[in-house]
Amino acid sequence: MKKIKEMPVKERPREKLIEKGSASLSDVELLAILLGRGTQKHDVISLSKSLIEVIDICSTNLTVKDITAINGIGIAKATAIIAAFEFFRRRIKPEGLQIKSPTDVLPVIQHFSDRKQEHFLCVSVNGANEVMNIRVITIGLVNQSQVHPREIFADVITDRASALIIAHNHPSGNLTPSKEDITVTKRIKEASTILGIKLLDHIIFNTKGYYSFLENNEL
């Protein structure tokens, strides 16, 4: 992505938001607006990309310390971001979103679809079919060693969830499950049966669509 000063005026984040609405902006562009400006060494787009990586890892546990660890972001910007996230969490949050089918969670995870690496997500669901939490479990290729049941169920158990949905993006654009995807799904399904926490679905998604193991009778 170009530096803001290199972009045509209409393609710059603020102008784009005004003309097309916030939904038209990428996560990087939205954070660029929150950050306001970069530094002499780091333009705001580069800072936004670095911040995205930290947010993906920390998720709801994001702290000021996590943000200020990024070279170019100080206390003032970090506290403003944390405050904005908390305000949003209190007003409009995924917790309490009731789902009738597992794919109803797509709107709250879709922003991961444009990531250049695979992000494996876990969605905790309570007995009323409400979303309790959404976490990034791993970043990188999905395989047996990286996506271990203990990494997934540790937080699900802490949430006292009765069910879970797992999902990951396919940056390649191909929605067909790989052998690793199928193997990981089977392992998590087996663990869910033992623990009594139902695995509702495994969803593979990208910017154009999704693949549901449940809808394809593979769960």
> pLDDT band at 3, cuts 50/70/90?
confident
Question: What gap in Å lies between CA 95 and CA 54, rounded to an integer?
Answer: 22
Statement: residue 144 has pLDDT above 60: no
Sheet holding 198-205, edge to edge: 131-139, 119-125, 163-169, 198-205, 210-212
Q: Give the C-alpha separation, 147 to 216, whole Å.
A: 22
Domain 102-212, CATH number (from 3.40.50.2000, 3.30.10.20, 3.40.140.10, 3.40.462.10)? 3.40.140.10
pLDDT tens readout for residues 19-32 = 889 888 888 888 88
pLDDT over 70 at 91, yes or no: no
**What pLDDT shows up at residue 95?**
60
User: What pTM value is reported for the model?
Assistant: 0.69
Residue-range domain boundaries for the chain? 4-91, 102-212
Q: In the predicted model, is pLDDT for residue 217 greater than 90?
A: yes
